[in-house]
Amino acid sequence: DADAEINAEKSEITIETPRPCKKALPCGGFVFPFSGPGKTASSDYPYALHDTLQLPWPYSSSADGTLTLRSIACSKICAKGRSNCSACAGLSKDSILEGILDREKHGVHEKANYAYQSFSNLIELLRRKNKRIEEILALYINPHLKVGDFGRFCDNFWDLEIAETPR
C-alpha cells in the first residue's frame, strides 16, 4: 500500500513552466544632438566644462561618433515605452545643458571663457589670433625694422606675448 501511495503521488506532480519575463531595456542616456554637417563628438562638445563646473552628467562617446550623456541619478533602466530613464530624459531641461545646446547651434562668443569653447572653436580662435599677429607684424612692425633687428624684436615680442597669455 505504501508503494502504491508513492506512485500515486509521483503521477500527480506537475511542473510549472516559467512565465516569460519582460526584460527591462538598459537606459540609453541623453544622446547629444549635433546640428549641422561635419559636427562630431570629438570636436564640437565643450569637454573642458566638466573640469570647470560640477555637471550632473558624465559623458561617453562611441566609435560611430555618438556622444551620450547620462545623469548621475540614472536608474540604468528605461522608463516604460522610452529609450531612457526619467533622470536622463530630464537632462534636456537642465539649464546648463540648454545653454550648451544653444551655443552649439548659434556659436560661442569669441570672448567667452575657454571652457565653453569646443576643440573646433578653439582651433578657429587660434587661427584668427595667429592671422591678426601676422597682420600686426606685416603692417606696423616689419617696415620699421632693419634686417638685423628683426630677430631681437621677435624674441622680445614672443616674451611679451607669452607673459600676457592668460593661464
pTM score, two decimals?
0.63
Q: Give the chain's mean pLDDT.
A: 79
Mean pLDDT of 152-156: 59
What does the pLDDT read at residue 21? 46
Q: What is the pLDDT of residues 88-116, one digit of tens each?
A: 999 999 999 999 989 888 888 888 899 99
**Which three cell numbers, joined as nine digits, stand for 105?**
547651434
Q: Region 52-67: what's the mean pLDDT? A: 90
**CA–CA separation, 72 vs 62, rounded Å?**
19
User: Burial, 9: exposed, middle or buried (Cβ in 10 Å; 0-12, 13-18, 19+)?
Assistant: exposed
Looking at the predicted structure, is the pLDDT value of residue 15 above 70? Answer: no
Q: Are 74 and 27 in contact (CB under 8 A)?
A: yes
Question: Please, which pLDDT band fits residue 164 given cuts at 50, 70 and 90?
Answer: low
Per-residue pLDDT reduced to its tens digit, 36-59 = 777 788 888 899 999 999 999 999
Q: How confident is the model at residue 34 (pLDDT cuts 50, 70, 90)?
A: confident
Chain centroid offset of residue 158 CA: 34
| Residue 82 pLDDT > 70 | yes
Domain ranges of the chain: 24-116, 118-167
**What's the pLDDT at 81?**
81
Cβ pair 49, 55 in contact under 8 A? yes
